[in-house]
């Protein structure tokens, strides 16, 4: 751990000095050079075999490749340079995702108990996310006695993925139920979202945030998966609204 801390605070900072300027224009030769330098330290951290690929060593150590870190520094600097008080909503309304260090995530935030369905509900809620031609959005559609009551539709930023949109839809539905003290069952066709929420090893800030909100509405919200495009009225309607 001491060596790892020394690497991240000294070696990596020295190697990536000025990356906010040059990190967005690396050549293949430069990337390979960074790989070669970083590999020496990764082997020490993981005690891996010399035949182990550098990419595998990155995964085992939890340290991203240097060229990706350099590019991230470049992108963050470009965002900062282009910031304006007139256009804060372009970036600030929907944050960029990032991986949280697993040791910094409290145990009660790693696990969330998902009840598929609860009884005596006020609404059935179908959620869906969509990304078409660089436009990402999601829809949260409420039903009562098979009748569509409300549709909440939102557009996200271009950098947001379908997975993030699906999670955002589930999270919005849970918070909507909490703010109105409704009991609801949420249905999503995103199996990846369900799996991410159930996983104790997920480090995504998006996933952790959704877990927090779902934990807070225990007893008010059920969450289960439904198959897409098989004629389920609510799911088909949410899919249409998300686009």
The topology (CATH level 3) of 107-242 is Nucleotidyltransferase; domain 5 (3.30.420)
- Segment (H or E) for 39: helix 28-46
Q: How far apart are CA 70 and CA 224, in angstroms?
A: 40
Confidence of residue 44 (pLDDT cuts 50, 70, 90): confident
Tokens 């952790």 belong to residue:
208
Burial of 236 (0-12, 13-18, 19+ CB in 10 A): middle
Domain boundary assignment for the chain = 2-90, 107-242
Q: Which tokens in the block code for residue 69?
A: 């870190």
Q: What is the pLDDT of residues 97-118, one digit of tens each?
A: 666 666 666 666 667 788 999 9
Determine the pLDDT at residue 206: 82
Determine the pLDDT at residue 179: 93
Going by C-alpha positions, the residue among 63, 78, 49 that lies closest to residue 11 is: 63
Q: Which tokens in the block code for residue 15?
A: 């190697």
Residue ranges of E strands in 122-229:
123-132, 135-144, 147-155, 184-188, 221-225
Q: What is the pLDDT of residues 224-239, one digit of tens each?
A: 999 999 999 999 999 9
Confidence of residue 88 (pLDDT cuts 50, 70, 90): very low
Confidence of residue 165 (pLDDT cuts 50, 70, 90): very high
Most trustworthy range by pLDDT among 56-70, 79-93, 163-177: 163-177
User: Rg of the chain's alpha carbons, rounded to an integer?
Assistant: 22
**What whole-number percentage of the chain has pLDDT above 90?**
42
């Amino acid at each position: 751990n001491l060596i790892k801390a020394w690497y991240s605070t000294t070696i990596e900072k020295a190697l990536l000095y000025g990356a906010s300027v040059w990190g967005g224009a690396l050549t293949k030769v430069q990337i390979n050079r960074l790989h070669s330098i970083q590999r020496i330290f990764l082997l020490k951290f993981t005690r891996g075999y010399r035949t182990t690929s550098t990419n595998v060593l990155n995964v085992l150590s939890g340290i991203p490749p240097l060229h990706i870190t350099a590019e991230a520094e470049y992108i963050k600097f470009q965002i900062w340079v282009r910031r304006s008080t007139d256009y804060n909503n372009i970036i600030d309304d929907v944050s960029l995702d990032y991986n949280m260090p697993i040791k910094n995530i409290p145990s009660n935030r790693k696990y969330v108990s998902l009840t598929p369905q609860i009884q005596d509900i006020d609404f059935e809620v179908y959620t869906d996310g969509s990304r078409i031609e660089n436009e990402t959005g999601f829809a949260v559609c409420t039903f009562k006695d098979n009748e569509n009551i409300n549709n909440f539709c939102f557009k996200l930023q271009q950098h947001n993925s379908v997975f993030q949109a699906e999670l955002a839809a589930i999270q919005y539905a849970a918070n909507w139920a909490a703010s109105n003290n409704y009991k609801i069952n949420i249905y999503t066709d995103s199996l990846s979202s369900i799996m991410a929420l159930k996983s104790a090893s997920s480090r995504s800030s998006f996933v952790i945030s959704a877990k927090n909100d779902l934990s807070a509405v225990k007893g008010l919200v059920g969450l289960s998966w439904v198959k897409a495009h098989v004629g389920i009225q609510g799911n088909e309607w949410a899919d249409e609204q998300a686009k």
